[in-house]
Structure 1
Amino acid sequence: MNAPTSRRATLYRMVMPTHTCPFGIKALDLLRRRGFTVDDRWLTTREQVDAFKAEHGVATTPQAFTGGQRIGGYDDLRRHFGKTVRDPKATTYKPVLAVFAMTALMAVAVSQAAYEKPMTWQALQWFVGLSMCVLALLKLQDVERFSSMFLGYDLLAKRWVPYAYIYPFAEAAAGVLMVAGVLHAVSIPVALLIGGIGAASVIKAVYIDKREIKCACVGGDSRVPLGAVSLAENLMMVGMAMWMLARLM
């Protein structure tokens, strides 16, 4: 039995030998999941793509049509079906929360493997160390961009620019040493230093100067707002360093 006309759609999307548009694939999947029978039409050359855009007066592909009306691209389809569309410029805590969630699970998993107990004091140290390692990794992907954002609020970096370049390496080193449980004479002072300066910088920028800026904690292109989560990250480093110091005394 043929599907009703109202549940039919035509989709024009770019499928070339060297490139298949990912949004076209997503649009096709969305239409099918919404119960549409899709006439999937491929634009296989640049000439076909340009001709299609000129004919329909659109700037991008894919383009979906239902009931003789153009709905638009993938984001337009999501809006048409009442789904949310991500704003790439919107601020969000999701990246840093994802890091903490993943490193917490990793710490619990390692604790289970080592002690056959998921929740141990050692797991807490591993959580902080692993979090520092992953956050440092994100910064090290593009140290130049990180340093530029970091210089916007860090108190020490503003006075001594090399610190903005040293920071991700120092964070990585302290994190690795915390996870390994070695060279406390290095990891503890480094964590106290970078965590303490970081906490003071956040407090001044956000709570004293009332600035609304982005945090460089997950790299230089993040949309994470500088605020409570950033402060918690730094206080976490300070707290763990003090706890490790207390255990040694």
Structure 2
Amino acid sequence: MSANPKKAVLYRIVSDDHICPFGIKSKDLLERKGFEIEDHHFTSRAETEAFMKEQGVETTPQTFIDGDRIGGFDELADYFDEETGKQTGTTYQPVIAVFATTFLMALAASWAVAGTLAPVTALVWFVGLNMCMLAILKLRDLFSFTNQFITYDLVGMRWVRYAYIYPFAEALAGIGMIAGVLSPLFGAIAFVIGSISAVSVIKAVYIDKRELKCACVGGGSNVPLGAISLTENLMMVVMGALMVVGLV
């Protein structure tokens, strides 16, 4: 360390009830930038409010460098020209995360069972695992999912109960694909719900030209309704049809 290290003063909440995550991130960023930190902890709400009133700020943490107040974590990241990692606007990140993870899981399961990469088996498991994971994301907040889903699904907007049934049907069909049992039944479920969703996406996005958020990863997501959603639906349709006719 140099004889005159860079110094920063950080004020953050560290109490028995709450440890501010942005305070931890501010401290980590300052350390990565080589700063010696004078770390002040607020252990009560009264201390925090007194500090905010004195400084004329509405949030903590607050960082000071060379006597100048930089601000909270977002302002500190801007100061160092760093990305915060916060998601803003539309993003495909949740869908990419699901597709990539389930693809690798399918390959791993295929290798574990067969001792080799069996392409057809891995593909079936990929679609099945993908459906199951997406169903889980929907089921964790079924109310929010249905609110988003019924704005574009052709059946859901006419029969709301279908929106509540859909994630369970998706999970059931996915589990059936993975298990490899009752293929005509589970394939038919995947084919029907996938077909309805595919037609709904085509109408909403490509015919009506509506800009909507996709409910595929659960309600409240910022994933745009469009090509990715349609691809997911078409995978269900194709795999369901193959299962019904006994080709997988």
Identify whether the pair has TM-score above 0.5, normalized to the shorter chain: yes
List per-residue Cα deviations over 1:11-31 (Å, max 9, x = no partner).
000011111111101100110
Aligned amino acid, residue 44 of structure 1: T
1:215 paired residue number: 214
List per-residue Cα deviations over 1:139-180 (Å, max 9, x = no partner).
001111111100000001111111011000000000000100
2:4 paired residue number: 4
2:184 paired residue number: 185
Shift of 1:86: 4.6
Distance in 1 (CA, whole Å) between partners of 2:188 and 2:118 is 26
The secondary structure found in structure 2 opposite 1:41 is strand
Distance in 1 (CA, whole Å) between partners of 2:34 and 2:185 is 60
Provide the alpha-carbon RMSD of the alignment. 1.5
Distance in 1 (CA, whole Å) between partners of 2:80 and 2:35 is 12
Moved over 4 A (4+): 86-89
Normalising by structure 2, we get a TM-score of 0.96
The secondary structure found in structure 1 opposite 2:37 is strand
Instruction: Give the fraction of aligned pairs with identical amino acids, expressed as a percent.
Output: 56
Distance in 2 (CA, whole Å) between partners of 1:84 and 1:3 is 30
Distance in 1 (CA, whole Å) between partners of 2:88 and 2:204 is 21
- The alpha-carbon distance between structure 1 residues 87 and 25, as it changes in their structure 2 partners (threshold 3 A), is closer
2:233 paired residue number: 234
List per-residue Cα deviations over 1:112-140 (Å, max 9, x = no partner).
00111124210100000000000000000
Shift of 1:83: 1.4
List per-residue Cα deviations over 1:81-127 (Å, max 9, x = no partner).
11124554411000011001000011000000011112421010000
Shift of 1:2: 6.1
The secondary structure found in structure 2 opposite 1:211 is coil
Distance in 1 (CA, whole Å) between partners of 2:217 and 2:4 is 49
Alignment of 1:86-105 (within 5 A): 86=85, 88-105=87-104
Shift of 1:228: 0.6
The secondary structure found in structure 2 opposite 1:218 is coil
How many residues of Structure 1 are paired with residues of Structure 2 in the alignment? 248
- The alpha-carbon distance between structure 1 residues 233 and 28, as it changes in their structure 2 partners (threshold 3 A), is same
Distance in 2 (CA, whole Å) between partners of 1:118 and 1:59 is 56
The secondary structure found in structure 2 opposite 1:64 is strand
Shift of 1:185: 2.6
Deviates more, 1:125-134 or 1:178-187: 178-187
Shift of 1:4: 3.0
- Contact map agreement 1:3 1:37 (CA 8 A) in 2: no
Distance in 2 (CA, whole Å) between partners of 1:218 and 1:65 is 40
Distance in 1 (CA, whole Å) between partners of 2:142 and 2:23 is 34
- The alpha-carbon distance between structure 1 residues 86 and 2, as it changes in their structure 2 partners (threshold 3 A), is closer
- The alpha-carbon distance between structure 1 residues 239 and 55, as it changes in their structure 2 partners (threshold 3 A), is same
Shift of 1:246: 3.9
Q: Does 1:130 align with 2:129?
A: yes
- Structure 2 alignment gaps of length 5 or more: none
1:106 paired residue number: 105
2:18 paired residue number: 19
- Contact map agreement 2:102 2:129 (CA 8 A) in 1: yes
Aligned amino acid, residue 175 of structure 2: V
Aligned amino acid, residue 196 of structure 1: S
The secondary structure found in structure 1 opposite 2:156 is helix
